[in-house]
Structures are given as structure tokens and as C-alpha cells.
Amino acid sequence: MPGYKGHLTGGFFFAVMGLIGSVMLGWLALNPLIALGLIGFCLLGAMFPDVDTDSKGQNLFYVVFAAVDLGLIFQKQYIWAAWLGFFAMLPAIGSHRGWTHTWWAMLLVPVPILAVPAVTMSVEFAKDFVPFYVAFATGYFSHLLLDGEFA
């Protein structure tokens, strides 16, 4: 089982191959800023399954969760802050290689990438975030594949 460097490398490989394929098939216009964002989301997805154990991924995600939660509190968005806090605790429920290492978590965990824009803006606006959902799920898939979950 690869460590975080192996998962980052795998996630980067999948991100680049996905970008090349999407551009060649005409699904995505080449935009360097969007491409970097998609690679970033893919790398985050590649790290997420290990948030259920003491890891670099756990450290990264909890720093991000804490910063976003603090921002929501400062903006007096207490309900959103409470929901984020609740969902941030979920990986601690269960054992390592538990629910975070399942195919259904790969599809469910990135749903907020689509749901938050749909709820706060509009469903039409959320369509712009589909590539970011796919990038995160692709990174997640790379992690599960490297861990032998599909063997």
C-alpha cells in the first residue's frame, strides 16, 4: 500500500490523463487556471480516503475544515458551520479502511462540490462544478485502486 507520496503521484497521473482525455474528446476547453484547479481537486480526492487514520491527508483536510468552519462562524453562518463540523467528524466513525475505502464513498464524499453551489446559488450554476466533482472522484478512485480495493 503506497504512502501519501504514492497516492499523490497516482492522483497526479490520473488528473493529467483525465485532463488530456477530456480536452482531446472536446469535453473541456483547455484553460490553465481551471486545469490547475482540477488537478488540485484530484489530488485532494487521492488523499481523502486516509482521513480515517493519522496521516498527511488527515492533517491537510482538518486544517482546511477548521479554516472554512472558522470563516463560516465569522460570517455568522452558524448552520453551515454546524453541518461542516458534523461532516468533518464522520471519518472518525469506523476503522481504517472502513467506509472511506468504499466505492460508494468515492461517489458520495464529493457531493458537496455540487450540492453547496446548487443550494446557495442555483442548479444551473452548480453544473459548472461537475468537472471538479469528477476530478475529486477520479483522485479518490486512484487511491482505492492503488490500495487494491478493486482487485
Residues 89-103 have a mean pLDDT of 81
Q: How far is CA 151 from CA 24, 47, 147, 148, in A?
A: 30, 20, 9, 5
Residue that is written with C-alpha cell 468552519 in the block: 69
User: Which three-class secondary structure state does DSSP give residue 54?
Assistant: coil
- Ordered by start, the domain boundaries in the chain are 4-55+94-146
User: Which three-class secondary structure state does DSSP give residue 53?
Assistant: coil
Asked whether the beta carbons of 106 and 99 are under 8 A apart, the reply is: no
Comparing 103 with 120, which gets the higher pLDDT? Answer: 103
- Tell me the average pLDDT of the chain: 89
Instruction: Indicate the pTM of the whole model.
Output: 0.84
Q: How far apart, in whole angstroms, are the C-alpha atoms of residue 143 and residue 72?
A: 30
